[in-house]
Copies of this chain bind each other. A is one copy, B any other.
Amino acid sequence: MSVLVVGSVALDTVETPFGKVDDALGGSATYFSAAACHFTDVNVVAVVGEDFPFSKIDFLKDRGVNFDGLIQKPGKTFRWGGKYHLDLNQRDTLFTHLNVFEQFDPVLPEHYREIPYIFLANIHPQLQLKVLEQIKKPQLVVMDTMNFWIEGTPESLKQVLKKINILIINDSEVRLLSGETNLFLGIKKLLQLGPQMLVIKKGEHGAFLFNNHAYFWTPAYPLEQLFDPTGAGDSFAGGFVGYLAKTGYVCDKNLRKGVVYGSILGSFCVEKFSLDRLREIELEDIEQRYQQFVRMTKIE
B256 and A224: CB pair below 8 A?
Answer: no
Scoring A183, A204, A257, A296 by chain B CB atoms within 10 A of each residue's CB, the highest score goes to: A296
A256 and B225: CB pair below 8 A?
Answer: no
CA distance A22 to B26 in the complex (A): 56
**Which residues of A216-234 have CB atoms within 8 Å of chain B's CB atoms?**
216-219, 222-226
Q: Is A294 an interface residue (CB 8 A)?
A: yes
Residue of chain B at shortest CB distance from A86 = B181
Q: Is A184 an interface residue (CB 8 A)?
A: yes
Say how far A82's CB is from chain B's closest CB, in angstroms: 20
Known A184-B223, A224-B184, A226-B182: A300·B294 in contact at CB below 8 Å:
yes
**Which residues of A171-207 have CB atoms within 8 Å of chain B's CB atoms?**
181-185, 202, 204-206
A299 and B226: CB pair below 8 A?
Answer: no
CA distance A218 to B219 in the complex (A): 8
A215 and B296: CB pair below 8 A?
Answer: yes
List residues of chain B with CB within 8 A of the CB of A219.
Answer: 206, 208, 217, 219
List residues of chain B with CB within 8 A of the CB of A216.
Answer: 296-298
CA distance A12 to B177 in the complex (A): 37
A245-258 near B? 1/0 per residue, CB < 8 Å: 00000000100110
List residues of chain B with CB within 8 A of the CB of A205.
Answer: 202, 205-206
What residues make up the interface of A, taking CB atoms closer than 8 Å to B?
86-87, 181-185, 202, 204-206, 208, 214-219, 222-226, 253, 256-257, 260, 293-300
Pairs A–B under 8 Å by Cβ, sample size 15: A87-B181, A182-B226, A183-B204, A214-B296, A215-B296, A216-B296, A216-B297, A217-B219, A217-B296, A218-B299, A219-B219, A253-B300, A260-B299, A294-B300, A297-B299
Which 6 pairs between the two chains have the least Cβ-Cβ distance?
A217-B219, A205-B205, A184-B224, A215-B296, A297-B297, A184-B222
A206-B219, A215-B295 given. 4 additional CB < 8 A pairs? A182-B224, A182-B225, A253-B300, A260-B299
